[in-house]
Structure 1
């Protein structure tokens, strides 16, 4: 599933060259297959210290927010498809609608559009 997510990011962004993927030491992130896919995409892997939630505070905060906003007060999902759909809907809202104080009270998609440098263009040859 993490390789699928990496490929989806490539399709969305085009190139991931130079990106840093910071993860924990979960088996999916330490697998040879994932390392090979990251290398092929030009993504540098970065991993938190084992057992250190402080080293991975951003991810821990994200996971806590996800759990609080999708699971608290929610009945059990009827199947995997329903759970995946709820996660997808939340993630879409998190990235496109939900304002983040750390980003100047903008959704991540808006922040990225406003801060991404314009592509360099070459002047026409004389």
Structure 2
């Protein structure tokens, strides 16, 4: 026997809010739901599992298009995993770059935190922001 869930129950079971479920349906990550006689969306256990897959992918930072590709791969278990591996490596490199950027920002902010200045004129953050003026590149004319 197939269990049918309204969208609110699907939201609770999957941990995805209702508006996001509707959006995922709109962009094709979740198949269009069947409708009850009253027009309400109806979902089954496969929808719960698919939505959980999408949610976990989003938590890892994969894009909608990347998740679409991963879903396609998941539905063809006989296919090689090389595309998923390539996507994962690329994604990991991007995350590592973001981590380096965040660490650089943290170092910069630590240098100006706990400013002891009494007025904005003596504020360390404001001084740091104004300290390096962007260099203007001369426009090349041909």
- The alignment's TM-score, normalised by the length of structure 2, stands at 0.25
Bigger Cα Rg? 2
